[in-house]
Every structure is written in structure tokens, then in C-alpha cells.
Amino acid sequence: MPERSPKVPIPSLNRLPLYYRYLLEAREQRLVVVSSEMLGDAAGVPAAQVRKDLGYLGEFGRPGIGYDVMEMQKRLAEQLGLSTQKDVIVVGAGRLGSAISAYRGFATYSMRIAALFDSDRSKIGTRVGGLEVLDVAEVGCFVQERGIQMAILAVPASMAQQVADALSQAGIAAILNFAPVKLDLPSSVVVSNEDLAARLATLSFRMIHRQE
């Protein structure tokens, strides 16, 4: 019987990559052991929350000693699916899509932007961040030929569902959606919606009420 995946609450899951990134930095600094306090400072949470977050994944660390950096980094990489490099495509070569394609931080999490697509004839064939902008009409073939499973959607809301359907039919299993629209896709496709305007509104609220 296959081992069940751990049930991790979304807030805790969102912090795991922060712990992972800190562990990579700790290895660069040649640290052998880190504490829950150090991990908490990196993620902006108390040490007790770190221990609770990691507890969802099993036994981590030793009381009074801390966490072995190399061992924990390896285990987190396995849990997050970062043990091997994953290719990701970006659909939408506008300002946001172009900025995402040129972002070098994905390498930290063993991810690589493999291609950038758009439907605008004036953009197709141009280069952004070292990538040639490809015709979105070719996205299905590209995904199937390369075995791509993850995509970032940075298209206008009016085009989002159509493009998402094409990605789903081609075999994409996970979409990071920046379009301000809710996508209707099969349950087999994992979708994460990123609404930048809503996040700024939340940040504005926190700023206004920070001293209340």
C-alpha cells in the first residue's frame, strides 16, 4: 500500500520553501546545525511555529541540539519535490510574464523556465531573458514533447480560461495563475491563484493599522 502524503496546512506549507531556502544559505555559510529560532527568524515566525510546521512531515532535529543542515535540506527537498530539476513554462510575454521569465531565483528551488509563449505576432520570435518567445499555438505540442507538468499563466483575464484549458489538455498538472480570474479546470490540475492587486490591498491594510 503506497505511503500517504502528509497533510500539511496551507500556511505551514507556504513556509516550508522559506526554511529550505535558509538551509541552502546555511550550507553556503558552512553551518552544520541550525536552530528553530534561526529558521523562525528566516520565515518571520516563532520557533514553536517552526517545530509545529516541521512536525507535520515527521521527526526533525534533536532537542537541545537543533537541525542537521544537510540532512534537513535533503529531506525538505524530497518532501517538496525539489530533488530533481523541473522545467516550467510561462504563457504570456507581457511585462509580468517577461519579468517572471527573466527571474533567476527559480534555480534555488530546482526549477527552470524552459519556454515563454505568447499570441502576439509582434512578440513571437523576439527574445526575453535569453528565451525566444514561442507561438502559444505550439504550447500543447511543446508540453507533450518535453513532458512539462508546470506552467505559469500571465495572460489577460479574457484569455486565461482558454489557455488554461489547452494547458490542461496537453498534460499540465499544476498552474500558477496570475490572471485575475478563477479557472474552471479538472480536479487533477492543481491551481494556485496569485492576485497582486489583492495582496497590495492586504499590505495597505496592514500598513494603515500597524499602530492601532
Last residue in a domain, options 56, 78, 100: 78
Considering the domain architecture, whether residues 94 and 163 belong to the same structural domain is answered as yes
For residue 91, give every residue at least 6 positions away whose Cβ sits within 8 Å of its Cβ, in sequence order, or none: 97, 116, 117, 118, 136, 139, 151, 152, 153, 154, 155, 163, 167
Residue 169 belongs to some domain of the structure: yes
Considering the domain architecture, whether residues 167 and 93 belong to the same structural domain is answered as yes
Considering the domain architecture, whether residues 159 and 180 belong to the same structural domain is answered as yes
Last residue in a domain, options 26, 57, 78: 78
Q: What is the domain extent for residue 41?
A: 10-78
Give bridge partners of residue 90 from the DSSP assignment: 116, 152
Mean local confidence (pLDDT), 107-123: 94
- Residues 40-63: tens digit of each pLDDT: 999 999 999 999 999 888 877 777
Considering the domain architecture, whether residues 38 and 109 belong to the same structural domain is answered as no
Domain count for the chain: 2
The predicted pLDDT at position 172 comes to: 97
Whole-number Cα distances in Å, 32 to 65, 129, 212: 11, 36, 42
Considering the domain architecture, whether residues 185 and 133 belong to the same structural domain is answered as yes
Residue 187 belongs to some domain of the structure: yes
pTM score, whole prediction: 0.83
- Residues 4-20: tens digit of each pLDDT: 556 888 889 999 999 99
- Residues 139-151: tens digit of each pLDDT: 999 999 999 999 9
The predicted pLDDT at position 205 comes to: 85
Give yes or no for a contact between 129 and 65, defined as CB atoms under 8 angstroms apart.
no
